[in-house]
Structure 1
Amino acid sequence: MNNFSSIANHLFSPAYAQHRTPIVLCDFDGTISVKDVTDTLLSHFGQDGCDELEELWVSGKIGSQECMSKQIALMDASLEELNEVLSQIEIDPAFKSFVNYTEKNNIPVHIVSDGLDYAIEFVLKRHGIENLPIFANKLLHDNERSWRLEFPYANKDCIKQSGNCKCNHVKKQQYFPQILYVGDGTSDYCVSHHVDLVFAKDKLIQYCENNNIEHCAIKSFADVTEALKQSQQALIPVMMVK
């Protein structure tokens, strides 16, 4: 029997006292990264059965936790091969400047993703970004060619049956006067109903419009940084729509 272990470094969970600034929660795949990292890895290393699982998820017959768990178990790759593909993943060119701005202004940023912790950590580190709290599914490796997932942030009551219940993470941010969220797609729909303001890209823009969710349409993290600068603690950007 294979022994699987985590390959990500220790991903800390910061503790905050009462805070006067907002907190920004960011999706990763398609929001920070240009491509969806999990889809990219599966396209390179996924074996027969991955596409069928994806169809079941898209049709709503299984949740993302079940889908991803079974898909990752179908990957065939060494760690070196995985890292080679991850080395080709690009991120939003404005994300590093956004992180620098939030650090200077003591605005916490958490990455809250239904993706893979090791992949997120690897990609960010390659772009010179370290020490951001990452809340994601735990990627396990057997030191040969097999992979598994664990779900430390799953919630049995999650409506979307996600591996990482983003709504549950929001509930833990009671120390902040405002919770801001940056996202782009399906995994961000549910959580968008539970934050104070959404910075939305791509499919998430239309979802927010259809559901009367307070949001700012953005093209990159440069727009988020500019909104934070203009609004300061009030966070009422001119571009806000409802």
Structure 2
Amino acid sequence: MTRKPVIFCDFDGTITLTDNIIELFKHFRPEGAEEILQCIAAKEYSIREGVEALFALLPSALRPQLTEFVQGQLQIRSGLRELLDFCQERDVEFLVTSGGMDFILYPALEPLGIPQSKIYCNSTDFNGTHIRVTSSHPCDEHCHSDCGMCKSTVMRQYPQEEYYRIMIGDSITDFAGAAFADLIFARSHLEEECRRLQMPYLPFETFHDVIRQFPNALG
């Protein structure tokens, strides 16, 4: 392998067993959330539009309760710590690329030793009456999907001539980035999309599956 391998790993439903944003809105059930979720699923809203509209339903004063709920139900998928050790031993860069929120990701990943500089996600502003979502990694001129936190934009910062780009993901927020990956580890919705588009991928349920298939994947 002459190109340096780099992993772009999703968070909700990939690093964690469930989608924490979905679980959060199921629990707090602000009026209008179900309609927005349906519009996102039907692609009537872009991911950015939908996420911003969802969190705008939540008062900023709820931050302690939101954090307590998410951290109380959040479960890390088996094998992540072993995968991080595996990557460190082999000098494989590991990045978290997520359409999730900083106030969820940072405290969840800090115990695993993943620095914030390696986490790409949405930013949240609690200074107003309601939560405001922004992203410091919006779509560049090559992506017109209005992703919010654009995974393909992050991936393009790692040119294919120099890097072997590996995506690990599960959801619709991974679809755009998957087109730029040299190797895809997929489950759930991303696996269905890979099958539909006849894109090669490797299935996984735990990160132990990723480790087991990793050497063979790199030849």
Normalising to structure 1: TM-score of the pair?
Answer: 0.81
Is residue 94 from structure 1 mapped to residue 86 from structure 2 by the alignment?
no
Q: Which residue of structure 2 lines up, in the alignment, with residue 53 of structure 1?
A: 36
Q: 1:13-69 CA deviation, whole Å, 9 max, x = no partner?
A: xxxxxx853000001110101111111222233521111111221222110101110
Q: Which residue of structure 2 lines up, in the alignment, with residue 170 of structure 1?
A: 155
Q: 2:100 aligns with which of 101, 115, 135?
A: 115
Letter in 2 for 1:75: L
Unaligned runs of 5+ in 1: 1-18, 237-242
Structural RMSD (CA): 2.0
- Distance (whole Å) between structure 1 residues aligned to residue 198 and residue 27 of structure 2: 39
| TM-fit CA distance, 1:145 | 6.5
| TM-fit CA distance, 1:156 | 6.2
* 3-state secondary structure, aligned to 1:34: coil
Contact between 2:140 and 2:153, CA under 8 Å: does it hold in 1?
no
Q: 2:65 aligns with which of 58, 68, 81?
A: 81
Q: Which residue of structure 1 lines up, in the alignment, with residue 53 of structure 2?
A: 70
| TM-fit CA distance, 1:147 | 1.4
- Distance (whole Å) between structure 1 residues aligned to residue 83 and residue 181 of structure 2: 20
* 3-state secondary structure, aligned to 2:179: helix
- Comparing both structures, which one devotes a greater share of its residues to helix? 2
Q: Which residue of structure 1 lines up, in the alignment, with residue 89 of structure 2?
A: 104
Contact between 1:65 and 1:161, CA under 8 Å: does it hold in 2?
yes
Contact between 1:182 and 1:198, CA under 8 Å: does it hold in 2?
yes
Normalising to structure 2: TM-score of the pair?
Answer: 0.89
- The residue correspondences of 1:208-219 to structure 2 (distance < 5 A) are 208-219=194-205
Q: Which stretch of structure 1 is more off in the superposition, 23-32 or 128-137?
A: 128-137
Contact between 2:186 and 2:203, CA under 8 Å: does it hold in 1?
yes
* 3-state secondary structure, aligned to 1:190: helix
Q: In the superposition, relative to structure 1, how do residues 156 and 47 fare at CA in structure 2: closer, same or farther (>3 Å)?
A: farther
- Distance (whole Å) between structure 1 residues aligned to residue 80 and residue 55 of structure 2: 28
Q: Which residue of structure 2 lines up, in the alignment, with residue 14 of structure 1?
A: none
